[in-house]
């Protein structure tokens, strides 16, 4: 039996935007001819998988159909939630559609994760398929490549050649994260692998209310072509609970599939900027390199209400003391130690540290060192032009 991929695609990705009303959800942002949702669809175009099921809501239906078409996927099922109730009800209702047999292996994927080495990822799924039963759950862990307080972690112990999860830790502080990593902790990716009957058994045991309401929501749903419209009256009776809280923190039969691969949920502008830096050669065009008295900047990608740049500040280079009316900025230092002015504060930043420049804040970058400083910059706003600069001080005489 093939593995059925279920893609959770209801998140709004509001962490990236101060004004989320006018921006696309993270999984549908065009990062230069590709979206995270399309990358997820690419991973499941394999003989290992059956056609996908996508859990989402009406707001994203148009984007989902567009992305499916772009990837040439014509067979699929879409389960539309009438309200947001977190991941537990979304996961269960997606699995309860009748065309999925009870012993069907299901892999639940987030629509907004960037995963490299998809062959290795799929190999691990195939390898662990034989261990699935009517009670257990396998979760995917990522070997940390940095100390981060942005992810949950888990600890495992080896039992019968499987990595059994002994403890979950939800987004620890950096000091605690460092200790967890030393103990062999992995990031909890939020993806997991199990059989349909195991999912049902776990919900019946630990979340009877969600099981009852979700079963009603799917049995009373209306189907139009490939789309299931869940029954609103039944679905909204579900409590809003994450799958982690509803099931994973309660059941004891959880094993881990440990992955040592490049993975990110691109959940912050730092991650997005570092992704652009890593793939700089794909975005670099000589016509987009602009020289300035302090060095140069390169426009790497102009997206929908955002612009990705790289700044190179030469030794002793000083940008003007300035502000912007129409944009905010996120910076990640990638080389050197710049001196930063932000309103009345002055401070230094080391490589891979971040700075946020709010709209209207007075700021400046200085390079007091003997080597070039490099900074990745994301500009956010409706107007992203060089004309949106008000200069207060400038050593190169550029104040009118």
Q: Tell me: the pLDDT tens digits for 323-350?
A: 999 999 999 999 999 999 999 999 999 9
How far apart are alpha carbons 220 and 231 in whole angstroms?
6
Residues 358, 325, 362, 278, Cα dihedral to 10°: 50
CA separation for the pair 201, 92 (Å, rounded): 11
Please give the Cα distance from 230 to 312 (Å, whole number): 52
**Mean pLDDT for all residues in the chain:** 94
| Three-state secondary structure call for residue 325 | coil
For the stretch 127-175, pLDDT in tens is: 999 999 999 999 999 999 889 888 899 999 999 889 999 999 988 999 9
CA distances from 177 to 188, 301, 323 (A): 13, 33, 36
The mean-pLDDT minimum among 7-21, 198-212, 225-239 falls in 7-21
pLDDT at 348: 97
17 pLDDT more than 90: no
Cα 271 to Cα 27, 183, 266, distances in angstroms: 14, 25, 5
> How far, in Å, CA of 351 to CA of 364, rounded?
17
**In the chain, where the domains are located:** 4-265, 270-393
- Looking at the DSSP bridge assignments, the partners of residue 110 are 8
pLDDT confidence of residue 364? 98
Share of the chain above pLDDT 70, in %: 98
Q: In percent, how much of the chain has pLDDT > 90?
A: 90
H or E element at residue 282: helix 280-283
Give the pLDDT band of residue 354 (cuts 50, 70, 90): very high
The CATH number for 4-265, chosen from 3.40.47.10, 3.90.550.10, 3.30.230.10, 1.10.8.60, is 3.90.550.10
Q: Which pLDDT value is given to residue 13?
A: 67
Tokens of 254: 């959880």
* Rounded distance between C-alpha atoms, residue 40 and residue 108, angstroms: 11
pLDDT recorded at residue 255? 97
Residue 314 CB: number of other CB atoms within 10 A? 15
Residue 184 has pLDDT above 80, yes or no: yes
Residue 96 pLDDT: 97
Positive or negative torsion for Cα 390, 396, 398, 400: positive
Q: Give the model's pLDDT for residue 15.
A: 77
Query: What's the confidence (pLDDT) of residue 21?
Result: 61
- Dump pLDDT digits (tens) for 185-213: 999 999 999 999 999 999 999 999 999 99
CA dist., res. 200 & res. 299, Å (int): 50
310 closest CA partner among 301, 299, 295: 299
Token pair for residue 304? 């929908």
As a whole number of angstroms, the distance between CA 75 and CA 245 comes to 32
What is the value of pTM for the model shown?
0.93
Instruction: Report residue 31 as tokens.
Output: 């990062």
For residue 12, name the pLDDT band (cuts at 50, 70, 90).
confident
Return the number of other C-beta atoms located less than 10 Å from residue 75's C-beta.
Answer: 9
C-alpha–C-alpha distance, residues 252 and 268, integer Å: 32
Yes or no: is domain 270-393 CATH 2.60.40.2480? Answer: no
**Average pLDDT of the residues in 247-259:** 94
The Cβ of residue 330 has, within 10 Å, a number of other Cβ atoms equal to 21
Contact in structure between 359 and 325 (CB atoms under 8 Å): yes
pLDDT in tens, 95-130: 999 999 999 999 999 999 999 888 999 999 999 999
Cα(55)–Cα(87) distance, integer angstroms: 10
């Amino acid at each position: 039996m093939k593995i059925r991929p279920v893609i959770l695609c209801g998140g709004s990705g509001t962490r990236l935007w101060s004004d989320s009303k006018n921006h696309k959800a993270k999984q549908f942002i065009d990062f230069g001819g590709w979206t995270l949702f399309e990358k997820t669809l690419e991973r499941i175009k394999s003989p290992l998988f059956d056609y996908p099921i996508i859990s989402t809501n009406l707001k994203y239906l148009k984007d989902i159909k567009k992305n499916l078409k772009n990837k040439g996927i014509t067979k699929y099922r879409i389960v539309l939630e009438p309200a947001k109730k977190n991941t537990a009800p979304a996961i269960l209702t997606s699995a309860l559609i009748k065309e999925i047999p009870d012993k069907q292996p299901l892999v639940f994927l987030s629509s907004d994760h960037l995963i490299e080495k998809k062959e290795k990822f799929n190999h691990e799924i195939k390898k662990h398929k034989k261990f699935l039963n009517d009670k257990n759950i396998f979760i995917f862990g990522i070997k940390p490549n940095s100390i981060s307080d942005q992810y949950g972690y888990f600890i495992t112990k080896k039992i019968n050649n499987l990595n059994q999860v002994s403890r979950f830790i939800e987004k620890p502080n950096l000091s605690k994260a460092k200790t967890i990593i030393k103990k062999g902790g992995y990031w909890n990716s939020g993806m997991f692998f199990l059989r349909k009957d195991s999912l049902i058994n776990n919900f019946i045991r630990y979340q009877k209310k969600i099981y009852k309401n979700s079963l009603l929501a799917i049995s009373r749903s209306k189907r139009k072509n490939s789309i299931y419209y869940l029954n609103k009256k039944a679905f909204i009776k579900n409590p809003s609970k994450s799958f982690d809280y509803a099931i994973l923190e309660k059941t004891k039969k959880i094993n881990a599939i440990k992955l040592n691969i490049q993975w990110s949920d691109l959940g912050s502008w730092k991650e997005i900027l570092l992704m652009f830096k890593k793939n700089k050669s794909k975005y670099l065009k000589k016509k987009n390199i602009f020289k300035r008295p302090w060095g140069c900047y390169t426009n790497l990608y102009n997206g929908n209400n955002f612009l990705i740049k790289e700044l190179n500040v030469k030794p002793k280079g000083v940008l003007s003391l300035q502000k912007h009316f129409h944009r905010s900025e996120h910076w990640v230092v990638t080389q050197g130690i710049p001196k930063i002015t932000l309103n009345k504060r002055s401070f230094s930043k080391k490589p891979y540290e971040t700075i946020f420049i709010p709209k209207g804040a007075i700021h400046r970058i200085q390079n007091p060192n003997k080597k070039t400083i490099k900074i990745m910059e994301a500009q956010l706003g409706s107007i992203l032009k060089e004309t949106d600069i008000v200069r207060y001080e400038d050593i190169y005489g550029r104040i009118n």
